[in-house]
Chain A
Amino acid sequence: MSRASTATRKATKGEFIETDSGNKVWRRAHISGAPNITLGGKTVIQADVQLRGDLARVQPPRSQGDGKAAPVNHSISIGRCTIVSAGSVIKPPHRVSKREVDGRAVKEVHYYPMKISDNVFIGPNCTIQAANIGQHVHIGEGCVLQALCVVKENVKILPYTVVPPNMTIPSNSVVGGRPARIVGELGDGWGMTTGSAGGDNEGWVEGGDLRELVRAIR
């Protein structure tokens, strides 16, 4: 595990920076609050992706004499071999709560940490506010995953789907529509390759191991 912003191996003037653990982060990606973001390695963050690490949970302020630095709030953690395609927005989920302060109703926005697991493919121009995305999930183009939805392992989200807040998508399902509903089941062989990274044919399938695809991105 390494921080996204640190440990660049070489300052080549390529389009992206490859970190020690193999993360490929485009220079044109908009990353805010980098200390709150963890990338698992071999993960691709493409151009014009917004990673909103600054929207972290606000910790209660510590007393001055503590001597410690402010605790790290993990707001976005992304696993290995995950690809975030161009133009997507990754934003920690939030919840609006109402509280009474001095007899007046005050709206408060709480941000929660989000976790994206390994081998997740996020298509171009998505907006992701999920609480949790499991392994081997394929998210099509232009999807919106609204706040605090949970996507389990092995799920395919069809392009232009809007997943409503708080929805749980169970494993092995295909979801689509606005709002999203389960429209089908994945085949039992979802994400399985034919045991090879066959030469010049693509060594990856939707929902499978994305390592080959990450390697192919240059």
Chain B
Amino acid sequence: MAQSFPYTYYRCPCVDTSTPTSAVAPPNLPSDPSSAPVEQDEEEGHTFDPLSPRANFSLFPLEHLLYCTECHEIRCPRCTMEEIISYYCPNCLFEAGSSSVKEHGNRCIRNCFNCPTCTAPLSVNAMEMERSNGSDTGSSASEQSHQYFLSCPYCNWSSLEIDMDFKSPQNIYHQFTKFYRSQPDLESKPSQVSPTEAMETPTQATTPVQQPPTPTAHPTDQEHYARLTAFLRTQISDTDTNSYNDINFSSPSSITRLMHLYNPSSKKAALQKPALMREAQKQNEGLVVQDLERDQKRIQEIRFRGWDGTISLSQRSQQQHPRNIHFDTDLRPVPTLLICKRSKRCRTCRSVLFRPESKPTSTRFKIKLLALEKIPRLSLRALNAATVPAALITSVPSSSPLITAAQGFDYNALKPLKPTLFLLTLSNPLEDPVKVTLATPGVSKTAAGVESKVTILCPQFEVGANTDVWDEALNPSTRDKEREREAKRRSALLTLSSGSAESMAEAQAGVRQAEAGKIWSSGRNWTSVIVEVVPNPTIDPSAKSRSSKGRGNEDDDVLEIPVFVRMEYEADAHGDGDARLDDSTSSARRRGEKEKLEEAFWCVFGVGRVVGL
């Protein structure tokens, strides 16, 4: 798993096939508190299972989710539509016009190339030095000394290996395509037997008949494509006499023609079969004949060159024209693929959720509706883990290599039968206080079948509003509250330390009894509660059989806890609280036009790995 523990994934509801996105009603009907999403989940009567194969497609980190303010729903990459705003080269960051994209096939047409062997960007080098050394006698030194070539600074591949050089360091793509076209297909040189003949007289193939090479024998990709398109075009025009391509809907005759399609009276006409299109049969029609001799030669060559001379599948697929490329000498520099900026729309209501500026170098945006601004951020960490990553506290670098992983608690080794306490913190991005209800299936399993008991000690709590930082400091009542909270937290800590000093586990157990139903700590817009996890070594037989079928992989022991989060809050009836006036007027206004809203979603905490007993 790429992400280090503990992580939080949010589930986008769009995967639920029983409630397709288009069918999901806007959940926040103002009056009914138990409205759509909760009800739907209850109706389904099942809890979300992070182990189900489908779960992979619905879980996302919070940063990747958008929020449609029209539908009041989370929107994931699956339920947004993307529109391309601009194309640009990732290497030179120049924007490419859509016409040039069409013409040149999504490649950078400047000087950007990638190494065909290792994908690193190639650099243009002049071979002045080498030439000037050897040009003591050569009279053509002056013209040769200005030759350029592409070379890879990472793997030292150079275009000189395939005898490719350039006259000027500018406009390399143009020179590259010219070079590509002028060079005949490598394969057409060695085999001079026309493949048809080779097929007819296979015995003579070993003693090649000297013939002028037929130009059609091994067409390049461009030639092949041109022939095939020309052939197919004639075929279409020959056979498709009653084509519907040229229908003019305004003319009554074509309308009747169209209507005849559906009219049973025109059976006769329908029975009349159109002439069939035939396949390409000659080489000038684009037929490519299997060349056995060439294949034999290639096999010979593989023997000769060995493994190092052949190319990998990824190298081959990266090539612009991957047909007939088998050896490292066939590799060509790859013009850099363009990337694009995209805007995102909600699939249901088509409103724009995200629109960046079109300039490639700009990171600004015009519209950005993030789930981060509407959905509380939930985070989990072990209670006894340090807040500041240990990597930053210690001065010894080797002791703690990973900043997020090693925080004084080993998430990769959750011990069975030992209750581990985690702190679940929910921070509220909204400008209104929120009532939160958490729910979790009591037992969550790892893929290997290790069941763990999960208990949220305080499933219902309130989270303060995300007000201005200064409000809290200036408002005396909130300050008192804060003091109260602080005192509570202190007492909780006291109970923690006053428990049996011998073992930490017992002390934590003592806290659990004391704190059940109470929040652990809270602040301006966040609240933390304790979650107790007891990995249990009882193995679920069904899961075991599943994993023993060879499905066992490294992530089988990862414990993921699904948690259902439901939040209720009251917000301004109009606007989503973005038009904030100063305190007195806005609070008065709010009292008048409050609206009860609610939000509900599943999320999954990746807690860690469960080790064996």
Taking Cβ atoms with an 8 Å cutoff, the residues of A that contact B are 15, 26, 28, 44, 46-48, 83, 85-87, 98, 100, 105, 123-125, 141-142, 146, 152-154, 158-159, 162, 164-173, 179, 181-182, 186-190, 192-196, 198-202, 213, 216-218
Instruction: Tell whether A187 pairs with B63 under 8 Å between CB atoms, given A165-B154, A168-B91, A196-B427.
Output: yes
How far, in angstroms, from A124 to B400 measured CA to CA in the complex? 9
Q: A125-B401, A141-B403, A192-B63 are in contact. Are A171 and B391 (CB under 8 A)?
A: no
Which of A162, A192, A201, A217 has a CB less than 8 Å from the CB of B370?
A192
For the A-B complex with A141-B403, A189-B372 known, give 9 more contacts whose Cβ atoms are closer than 8 Å: A15-B395, A98-B128, A100-B132, A124-B397, A153-B363, A164-B121, A169-B90, A192-B63, A213-B392
| Contact A199-B526, Cβ < 8 Å, known A166-B121, A194-B427 | yes
Residues of B within 8 A of A189 (CB): 62-65, 370-372
Interface centre among B368, B377, B425 (most CB of A within 10 A): B377
Q: Which residue of B lies closest to A196 (CB)?
A: B525
* A195 partner, pick from B339, B344, B423, B525, beta carbons under 8 A: B525
Say yes or no: B403 contacts A165, CB within 8 Å: no
Q: Are A167 and B120 in contact (CB under 8 A)?
A: yes
- Interchain CB contact under 8 A, B395 and A26: yes
- Please, which residues of chain A bring their CB within 8 A of the CB of B522? 199
Q: Are B466 and A194 closer than 8 Å at their CB atoms?
A: yes
Instruction: Report whether A83 and B392 are in contact in the complex, using a CB–CB cutoff of 8 Å.
Output: yes
Contacts of B65 in A (CB 8 A): 187, 189
Asked if residues B372 and A146 are in contact (CB atoms below 8 Å), the reply is no
User: Is B153 on the interface with A (CB-CB < 8 A)?
Assistant: yes
Residues of B within 8 A of A194 (CB): 372, 376-377, 427-429, 466, 525-526
Chain B interfacial residues counted at CB < 8 A: 69
- Does B553 reach chain A (CB closer than 8 Å)? no
Please indicate the chain B residues that have their CB under 8 angstroms from the CB of A125 in the complex: 397, 401
Q: Give the distance to chain B from A18, nearest Cβ to Cβ, in Å.
A: 15
Q: Across the interface, which residues of A come within 8 angstroms of B523, CB to CB?
A: 196, 198-200
Docked pose: A192 CA to B466 CA in angstroms = 14
Query: How far is B60's CA from A146's CA once the two chains are assembled, in angstroms?
Result: 32
A-B residue pair count with CB separations less than 8 angstroms: 172
B420 interfacial contact with A, CB 8 Å: no
B474 within 8 A of A: no
Q: Which of B63, B388, B395 contacts A213 (CB 8 A)?
A: B388
CB contacts (< 8 Å) of A187 on chain B: these are: 60-65
Check if B21 is an interface residue, CB within 8 A of chain A: no
Interface residues as binary, B516-537 with A (CB distance below 8 Å gives 1, 0 otherwise):
0000011111101000000000
Instruction: Name which residue of chain A comes closest to B362, CB basis.
Output: A171
Contact of B153 (CB < 8 Å), options: A141, A146, A158, A217? A146
> What 6 A-B pairs are tightest by C-beta distance, nearest first?
A187-B63, A187-B64, A86-B397, A199-B523, A87-B397, A164-B120
Is B377 a contact of A48 with CB atoms below 8 Å? Answer: no
* Chain A residue at minimum C-beta to C-beta distance from B394: A86
B521 and A199: CB pair below 8 A? yes
* B residues at A contact (CB < 8 Å): 2, 60-66, 88, 90-93, 118-121, 123, 128-129, 132-133, 152-155, 339, 344, 354, 360-361, 363, 365, 368, 370-373, 376-377, 379, 381, 387-388, 391-398, 401-403, 423, 425, 427-429, 466, 469, 521-526, 528
Which residues of A lie under 8 Å from residue B123 when comparing CB positions? 165-166
Residue in B closest to A197 when the chains form the complex, CB atoms: B469
Residue in B90, B344, B398 with the greatest tally of chain A CB atoms within 10 Å: B90
Known: A83-B392, A188-B354. A196 touches B524 (CB 8 A): yes
Interchain CB contact under 8 A, A170 and B427: no
| Cα separation A110 to B237 with both chains bound (whole Å) | 65
Count chain A CB atoms within 10 A of each CB in B64, B65, B365 and give the residue with the most: B64
Closest to B431 in A: A195
The interface centre, meaning the residue of A15, A152, A170 with most chain B CB atoms within 10 A of its CB, is A170
Asked if residues B153 and A166 are in contact (CB atoms below 8 Å), the reply is yes
A86-B397, A179-B119, A188-B368 known; A216-B387 Cβ under 8 A: yes
Which of A85, A159, A179, A188 is within 8 Å of B120, CB to CB?
A179
Q: Which residues of B contact A141 (CB under 8 A)?
A: 401-403
B153, A164: Cβ atoms closer than 8 Å: yes
Q: Which residue of chain B lies nearest to A100 when distances are taken between CB atoms in the complex? A: B132
- On chain B, the residues within 8 Å of A198 by CB distance are 425, 427, 523-526
Distance in angstroms from A137 CB to nearest chain B CB is 12
Residue of A at shortest CB range from B405?
Answer: A141
Q: How far is the CA of A15 from the CA of B2 in the complex (A)?
A: 33
**In the complex the two chains form, is B361's CB within 8 Å of A152's CB?**
yes
Question: Which residue on chain B has the smallest CB distance to residue A27?
Answer: B395
Asked if B395 and A188 make an inter-chain contact with CB atoms under 8 angstroms apart, the answer reads: no
Which residues of B sit under 8 angstroms from A168, Cβ to Cβ? 90-93, 121
- B363 contacts across to A, CB distance below 8 A: 152-154, 171-172
- State A47–B119 Cα separation when bound (angstroms): 35
Nearest A-chain residue to B126, judged by Cβ: A98
CA distance A146 to B121 in the complex (A): 12
Chosen A-B contacts, 23 in total, with CB atoms closer than 8 Å, are A15-B395, A28-B395, A85-B391, A85-B403, A86-B395, A98-B128, A98-B129, A100-B132, A146-B154, A152-B93, A154-B363, A167-B91, A168-B93, A171-B363, A179-B118, A179-B119, A182-B90, A192-B370, A198-B525, A198-B526, A201-B423, A216-B388, A218-B393
| A188 & B63 in contact (Cβ 8 Å cutoff) | yes
- List chain B residues, Cβ under 8 A from A142: 401
- B contact residues around A202 at 8 Å (CB): 379, 387-388
> How many angstroms between the C-alpha atoms of A26 and B396 in the bound complex?
11
A171 to B363, CA, bound (A): 7
B387 touches A195 (CB 8 A): no
Across the interface, name the chain B residue whose C-beta is closest to A142: B401
A44-B63 contact, Cβ under 8 Å, with A201-B379, A216-B387 = no
C-alpha spacing A118/B532, complex, angstroms: 39
CA distance A87 to B398 in the complex (A): 8
On whether A217 and B90 interact (CB within 8 A), knowing A100-B132, A188-B66, the answer reads: no
Q: Measured between alpha carbons, how far is A186 from B60 in the docked complex, in Å? A: 12
